[in-house]
Structure 1
Amino acid sequence: MRKKQLLPILGLISLMTTPALAQEDALTSKPGALAPYKTAIGFRYSPSNKFGADLAITAKHFIRPESAIEAQVGITNYNRAYFASIQYVWQPQLLTSNRLRPYAGIGLGLSGTEFNRNGEQQPFSTNLVGLGNIGIEYTFPKVPLSLSLDYRHAIFGYKTDSFKDLPINRLNNIGIGLKYNFK
């Protein structure tokens, strides 16, 4: 399915689900929820694909019981590329589990690369990108660790003239994360 066909479908789905979220009796998360931890530091790894593996250092800090700010800085094996991002993350506490929590985030980031094409060094380039992610995180009960699985998607790019060499879709990937939790 092409992106032009996907956008109207996603827009229609969001319009249909928005009234359901606005209902007062629609309980989506536990009342009086608590954050699973205050701050966590760890890494996110995206297994190798045809563009190279991603490895990122990540830090997450809860600002409210179900809201956090997450920062990531990482590299990819493709043409010495790097990325850095900061995202707002909504992570509700489910009615059925205190330790297993889904999350969704949106934020801004920078992506850049330095090329060596045919023995000729290309200029270093940095681009602004919008990112979104969805995932699930499990916090272990007796050890201060959290394990996560997520999908990161680049929504848009600004000044992406170098994306002909490092297309924005190369930021899209599935990753696993492991974080050490501080209470």
Structure 2
Amino acid sequence: MKIKLTLGLALLSLSSALFAQSDYKQAIGARISPASNYDVFAASYKMFLAEQPALEFNLGIGGNRYAYFVNDYRTTTISASAAYQHHFAIKPVDGLKWYVGGGATVFHSSSKYDPFKGVSVGLFPTGGADYKFKKIPLNVSADWRPTFLVAKTDQYNGFYGDGFGIAARYTF
């Protein structure tokens, strides 16, 4: 009798644990944000901590062209960002979730024009939608990350509201 009870409780807790998990635990791929200055293209890694909370990490490259009077300046940047996301299921569609959260980014700019050179640090709220395909190991997402620079080089603006991005990742 004890074995049946123990086995029943173990199966019940296992099934509830499996039911509580997200559609995927981890994903790796790429995120593009064409209007961004610091992470036009980024490698992206996302991991769920439980059913709703997730962390997303990005390593990106970017750049821009600035024209001042008769001079043309180009910047090249490398960046790293981390974000916390809290997901909520959108019930009619399996695998579709929306999320909100926030994060931080650090990027280094290089340029022939000194006021663009250096390290900048930004904070951003984030929100978006995340979809995991049922039959293939693919996740896609779209998000918005308006970034407030708390430390910046001389020529950068303090706010970038054009941080829209899309990502595609292999799930495992």
Q: TM-score under structure 2 normalisation? A: 0.73
2:122 pairs, out of 98, 119, 129, with 129
Alpha-carbon deviation of 1:104? 1.4
| Aligned-partner Cα distance in 2 for 1:146–1:50 | 22
| Aligned-partner Cα distance in 1 for 2:53–2:78 | 27
Segments of 5+ residues of structure 1 without an aligned counterpart are: 1-31
Cα deviation digits, residues 148-170 of structure 1 (max 9, x gap): 1111111x32332x1x4232434
Query: Whose strand proportion is higher, 1 or 2?
Result: 2
Segments of 5+ residues of structure 2 without an aligned counterpart are: 1-18, 65-74
The equivalent residue for 1:36 is 23
The equivalent residue for 1:146 is 139
Cα deviation digits, residues 125-175 of structure 1 (max 9, x gap): 112211221111111111100111111111x32332x1x423243473211
Structure 1 contact 63–69 (Cα < 8 Å) conserved: yes
1:109 aligns to 2:105 (yes or no): yes
1:166 pairs, out of 151, 156, 163, with 156
| Aligned-partner Cα distance in 2 for 1:135–1:36 | 17
**Rg larger for:** 2
| Aligned-partner Cα distance in 1 for 2:145–2:118 | 22
Cα RMSD, aligned residues only: 2.3
Q: 1:127 to 1:52 in 2, by over 3 A?
A: closer
Structure 1 contact 114–122 (Cα < 8 Å) conserved: no
1:83 aligns to 2:79 (yes or no): yes
Counterpart code for 1:145: L
The equivalent residue for 1:180 is 170
Give the 3-state SS of the residue equivalent to 2:145 in structure 1. strand
Aligned-residue sequence identity (percent) comes to: 26
Aligned residues: 144
Alpha-carbon deviation of 1:113? 0.7
Q: TM-score under structure 1 normalisation? A: 0.69
| Aligned-partner Cα distance in 2 for 1:64–1:71 | 17
The equivalent residue for 1:62 is 48
Q: 1:88 to 1:52 in 2, by over 3 A?
A: closer
Counterpart code for 2:149: G
Structure 2 contact 103–126 (Cα < 8 Å) conserved: no
| Aligned-partner Cα distance in 2 for 1:106–1:171 | 14
Counterpart code for 1:61: M
Cα deviation digits, residues 48-91 of structure 1 (max 9, x gap): x4958700111011001011111111011321022211111101
| Aligned-partner Cα distance in 2 for 1:176–1:54 | 11
Q: 1:100 to 1:70 in 2, by over 3 A?
A: same
Structure 2 contact 100–128 (Cα < 8 Å) conserved: yes
